[in-house]
A and B are shown apart, each in its own frame.
Chain A
Amino acid sequence: MPSVSMTVNGKAVSGNVEERTLLVQFLREHLRLTGTHVGCDTSQCGACVVHVDGKSVKSCTLLALALEGANVLTIEGLAEPNGPLHPMQEAFRQNHGLQCGYCTPGMIMSAIDIVRRKGHELDERTIREELDGNICRCTGYHNIVKSIAAGAKAMAQGGAPRQAAE
């Protein structure tokens, strides 16, 4: 089996994978980073969103072998171990932006990317439109929208997101 090397959450990792191995499988099954979830297999639900080289991607659409040398950031790498939570994580907790928690890692990773692209002052319509690629069945999105607006503001106040190294 061919091998692949990349940086995940700041650590160099490598593994031998089947050619068809998707990034999400590499993360979950090889690296045991199970915070990234699979919800649909058709790139619709967004439960698998991670950041690759600073941009959000659906990790069920990328082959692991295509990411040689890439910088990958997953939900597990957002906050330092035993350090404070990322402001977006904290915003989801404070605003009850999650229920079953299954879509949550993808939501948070997408939310941070929305802030990167759209800035810290996000109106409701922008957030709702930008969330087109993330499905939640529990919350009706009401509190997710609140969480992202609050998290975006908090990120402006010094809580800069920890991005994968460029």
Chain B
Amino acid sequence: MSATGIGAPVRRKEDLRFITGKGQYTDDVVRPGETRAVFVRSPHARARIKSIDVSAAMSMPGVIAVLTGAELANDKIGNLICGWMIHSKDGSPMKMAPHPALATGTVNHVGDAVAVVVAETKGQARDAADQVKVDYEPLPAVADPAKAQEHGAQQIHEVAPNNTIYQWHLGDAKATDAAFASAKHVTRLDIVNNRLVPNAIEPRAALAEYDAGADHLTLWNTSQNPHVARLVIAAFVGMAPEHKLRVIAPDVGGGFGSKIFIYPEEVICLWAARKVGRPVKWTAERSESFLTDAHGRDHVTHAELALDGEGKILALRVKTIANLGAYMSTFSSSIPTYLYGTLLSGQYNIPQIYCEVDAVYTNTVPVDAYRGAGRPEATFVVERLVEVAAREMGIDPPELRKRNFIKSFPHQTPVIMNYDAGDYQASLRKAMELADVKGFGRRKREAARHGKLRGIGYSTYIEACGIAPSQAVGSLGAGVGLWESAEVRVNPTGTVEVLTGSHAHGQGHETTFAQLVSERLGIPFENVSIVHGDTDKVQFGMGTYGSRSGAVGMSAIVKALDKIEAKAKKVAAHMMEAAENDIEFKDGKFTVAGTDKSAAWGDVALNAYIAHKFSGQELEPGLKETSFYDPTNFTFPAGCHICEVEVDADTGNTEIVNWTAVDDFGTVINPMIVEGQVHGGIAQGVGQALLEGAVYDKDGQLVSGSFMDYSMPRAHNLPSFTIGLTETKSPSNPLGIKGCGEAGAIAAPAAVINAITDAIGSEQVLMPATASTVWAALERANVARQAAE
């Protein structure tokens, strides 16, 4: 392993600009003549717009334009769409309601945009927005997903009777019922997977510029996938033809899924920039982030696990209501279906699984992918059921897991997925060693001496990453292919630029992708640049989400490098007057087998361009290759997280005292970066379990709408983490990579809740397990115990 090659903890290239304040985020970009946009948003969860009076706002200082949904419709700007078709079990297509970028007729959630003010300064735009008079007729709202389908619930969209978007199912209902009928033990749980706000620390922003001379639009945007943004805004919204729209996603300050989607604000900035003939910038305030960034999770689930007398799992039955909010966001339909139901087998050999999911509209912010996206929800269901089943049956929880682990691969689950490789016993064993599970009893007694209830919780999770084989996802309803592209440009001096369709917003691709190229070509790490996030530079790409950039994005680079090597060998053969088949390439040097002839990488690169040593008719000059890589399967990262907590019996306050994570991500390019990804994922999972919850009141007001009310994990809420790795390589891509970005967020919530419930001896703990929630559970358990005595 070289100091900068695959497997080395190389310090990141991108850090220098970030630690010196030289990053270029969207709000940092300034265009000549730039104006500022501020949106007028609905204060009601549901209301009819009776009228909008913009005259007072128009007369305010600095105001250039005040635009409403009526003008948007006049200009024939299309609606936002959801790009993944889900069919209900009766075969009917999902019920997608219109989602205009500015509401007309009715508003459907607090924060729904009804108008935009464009002014010289942000302050002027904000002042004028306050003067836009919208006459609303408030209507009853539906905020609770569990009540959205009830008879008498308010009908939000005409197209969706009973507020039901689809009623989807997966698996064999009859066979599952039969397995339950034969079970010796059934564990049942009612689960709420709490609604979360992604809260990337950089708020979303958009800056649009129109070049009238070229009839061309440019959008700087906080996007995880600029090409997909361009495609949707061109082909569906109809803003401009694709070749007349450039989307640039510069430095992006975290995404976690929330910056995948195409939002109203970027559409409106583009439209407004063309209308006013000047650049238009919008940057969200944090309260707008809370009211407009797609939220995550929000499931209400009843789940049942059937086991035989020895703790062998026979079947799993799951019924979930998934809240998709007021409109269907870009990929929202796929999250509680093909990213959820398909992962319900966990790490276990489960003969029968049946899953039903009803997706519902409510008068809340749209819900879509948030770190893990469906897989945390699935893991929470499976890992809570397994833990509770073990406790109910008097079997040690790790032992019950071991009895049910899948041990041979490939393994076909009853829910579509074909697991290609893994060793679940290895990660469990290593995690138990690192966590010193043997010493837990002693630690628990010690904790009891100072009034603390100590508990231990396991989560042996699995996820499907490397999203995804295009044909497979196409057959499941995806509107796009999920391959990735790479272009490797070797310059005449031998330095290399790699253009990738992946997009980094914290993941460190500029470093890890360069490590791959450095190792493969034997050239200095410093001589490689990674270019991403600009539709004018990169031909097309699918962006970064679903832990796909290593498994899919880097695989595309490998394929392009294969072509580069083949072409360079041809050039080298001409240079050294040898047969192409005799050329070997190693450590940046081309040699002729069996001779002492050699050519350095830089010489070959130069010769490829000057083309003096070969006929340009027989071999094209230049050294640049492209690849579009479509994966052969999902990848299946898996592992074991063990959480130890101490609960204060008097207050219910929970402290996480130990965290051990052992993950199998396949090949690791940069262990420092991989560990960082695990840390961040765990923090978000712990946030879900202990702190975070987007709370709506019954009228659809978001009660937790700022960092004052929504509890973000802070440094003192978390411990340092013990991280370990096991490795089985993925056979589904050339590097053997599985992906690491979401593991922590997927594994952590179940580990925390399993630990708390172990500590307090009650399973009735909802997330977030705040002190008052845990205290109430302790009280209920005490009352029940006293009643029993």
In the docked arrangement, what's the CA distance between A92 and B17, Å?
12
Contact A85:B20 (CB < 8 A) given known A99-B506, A141-B683? yes
Task: Choose one: B18, B283, B287, B708; the contact of A101 (CB below 8 Å).
Answer: B18
In the docked arrangement, what's the CA distance between A44 and B286, Å?
11
Chain B neighbourhood of A104, CB < 8 A:
18-19
A132 interface residue (CB < 8 Å to B)? yes
A138 interface residue (CB < 8 Å to B)? yes
Task: Choose one: B20, B202, B680; the contact of A75 (CB below 8 Å).
Answer: B20
Task: Choose one: B20, B201, B508, B706; the contact of A136 (CB below 8 Å).
Answer: B201
Chain B 8-41, CB-CB to A under 8 Å as 1, else 0, gives: 0001101111111111110110100000000000
A94 interface residue (CB < 8 Å to B)? yes
- Contact call A79/B201, Cβ cutoff below 8 A: no
Count class of interface residues, chain B: 35 or more
- Contact call B715/A141, Cβ cutoff below 8 A: yes
Chain B neighbourhood of A135, CB < 8 A:
201, 707, 712, 714
The interface-forming segment of A63-71, A121-129, A154-162 is A121-129
In the docked arrangement, what's the CA distance between A76 and B18, Å?
10
Contact A89:B202 (CB < 8 A) given known A99-B676, A137-B254, A137-B256? no
**Nearest chain A residue, comparing its CB with the CB of B28:** A34
Contact A140:B707 (CB < 8 A) given known A35-B23, A39-B201, A98-B19? no
- Contact call A41/B20, Cβ cutoff below 8 A: no
- Contact call B680/A94, Cβ cutoff below 8 A: no
The interface-forming segment of B67-75, B527-535, B716-724 is B716-724
B137 interface residue (CB < 8 Å to A)? no
B95 shortest CB reach to chain A, Å: 34
- Contact call A76/B20, Cβ cutoff below 8 A: yes
Q: Which of A1-58 contact B (CB under 8 A)?
A: 18, 20, 28, 32-42, 44-45, 47
Chain A neighbourhood of B715, CB < 8 A:
127-129, 131-132, 134, 141, 144-145
A59 interface residue (CB < 8 Å to B)? no
B125 shortest CB reach to chain A, Å: 13
A50 shortest CB reach to chain B, Å: 10
- Contact call A37/B19, Cβ cutoff below 8 A: no
In the docked arrangement, what's the CA distance between A34 and B22, Å?
7
Task: Choose one: B18, B24, B256, B706; the contact of A40 (CB below 8 Å).
Answer: B706
Contact A35:B20 (CB < 8 A) given known A41-B286, A100-B200, A100-B505? yes
In the docked arrangement, what's the CA distance between A124 and B673, Å?
21
Chain B neighbourhood of A38, CB < 8 A:
27, 203, 283
B610 interface residue (CB < 8 Å to A)? no
Contact A42:B200 (CB < 8 A) given known A92-B19, A99-B508, A101-B18? no
Q: Give chain A's interface secondary structure class.
A: loop
A116 interface residue (CB < 8 Å to B)? no
Contact A124:B720 (CB < 8 A) given known A40-B707, A99-B508, A100-B254? yes
Chain B neighbourhood of A47, CB < 8 A:
201
In the docked arrangement, what's the CA distance between A33 and B16, Å?
16
Q: Which of B233-289 contact A (CB under 8 A)?
A: 251-254, 256, 283, 285-287
In the docked arrangement, what's the CA distance between A119 and B673, Å?
29
**Nearest chain B residue, comparing its CB with the CB of A46:** B201
- Contact call B21/A105, Cβ cutoff below 8 A: yes
A163 interface residue (CB < 8 Å to B)? no
- Contact call A37/B202, Cβ cutoff below 8 A: yes
In the docked arrangement, what's the CA distance between A32 and B713, Å?
31
Chain B neighbourhood of A124, CB < 8 A:
720
A139 interface residue (CB < 8 Å to B)? yes
- Contact call A45/B707, Cβ cutoff below 8 A: yes
- Contact call B682/A140, Cβ cutoff below 8 A: yes
- Contact call B23/A101, Cβ cutoff below 8 A: yes
Chain A neighbourhood of B23, CB < 8 A:
35, 101-102
Chain A 72-106, CB-CB to B under 8 Å as 1, else 0, gives: 00111011000001000100111010111111110
- Contact call B286/A131, Cβ cutoff below 8 A: no
Contact A99:B201 (CB < 8 A) given known A75-B20, A127-B715? no
- Contact call B707/A138, Cβ cutoff below 8 A: no
B38 shortest CB reach to chain A, Å: 13
Contact A139:B679 (CB < 8 A) given known A100-B253, A102-B25, A131-B714? yes
**Nearest chain B residue, comparing its CB with the CB of A133:** B714
- Contact call A74/B15, Cβ cutoff below 8 A: no
Contact A89:B19 (CB < 8 A) given known A45-B707, A94-B11? yes
In the docked arrangement, what's the CA distance between A139 and B681, Å?
8
- Contact call A131/B20, Cβ cutoff below 8 A: no
B497 shortest CB reach to chain A, Å: 22
- Contact call A142/B721, Cβ cutoff below 8 A: yes
Contact A137:B712 (CB < 8 A) given known A35-B20, A42-B707, A74-B21? yes
Q: Which of B438-472 contact A (CB under 8 A)?
A: none
Chain B neighbourhood of A18, CB < 8 A:
121, 123
B502 shortest CB reach to chain A, Å: 15
Chain A neighbourhood of B713, CB < 8 A:
140-141
B73 shortest CB reach to chain A, Å: 32
- Contact call B682/A137, Cβ cutoff below 8 A: no
Contact A92:B200 (CB < 8 A) given known A34-B21, A140-B682? no
- Contact call B199/A76, Cβ cutoff below 8 A: no
Chain A neighbourhood of B22, CB < 8 A:
35, 76
- Contact call A98/B21, Cβ cutoff below 8 A: no
Given contacts A35-B20, A38-B203, A141-B714, 8 further A-B pairs with CB under 8 A are A41-B286, A42-B286, A99-B680, A100-B200, A101-B251, A104-B18, A124-B720, A129-B715
A-B contact pairs, 23 of them (CB 8 A): A34-B21, A34-B25, A35-B21, A39-B201, A40-B286, A41-B286, A42-B706, A76-B21, A92-B15, A92-B19, A98-B18, A98-B19, A99-B506, A100-B505, A101-B15, A105-B19, A105-B21, A125-B716, A127-B715, A131-B716, A137-B201, A138-B201, A140-B684
> Could you list which residues of chain B lie within 8 angstroms of chain A, going by C-beta atoms?
11-12, 14-25, 27-28, 30, 121, 123, 199-203, 251-254, 256, 283, 285-287, 505-508, 672-673, 675-676, 679-684, 706-708, 712-716, 718, 720-721, 744
> Could you list which residues of chain A lie within 8 angstroms of chain B, going by C-beta atoms?
18, 20, 28, 32-42, 44-45, 47, 74-76, 78-79, 85, 89, 92-94, 96, 98-105, 108, 124-125, 127-129, 131-132, 134-145
10 residue pairs, one from A and one from B, having the closest CB atoms: A35-B21, A101-B18, A102-B253, A140-B683, A100-B506, A140-B679, A99-B506, A44-B707, A75-B21, A131-B715
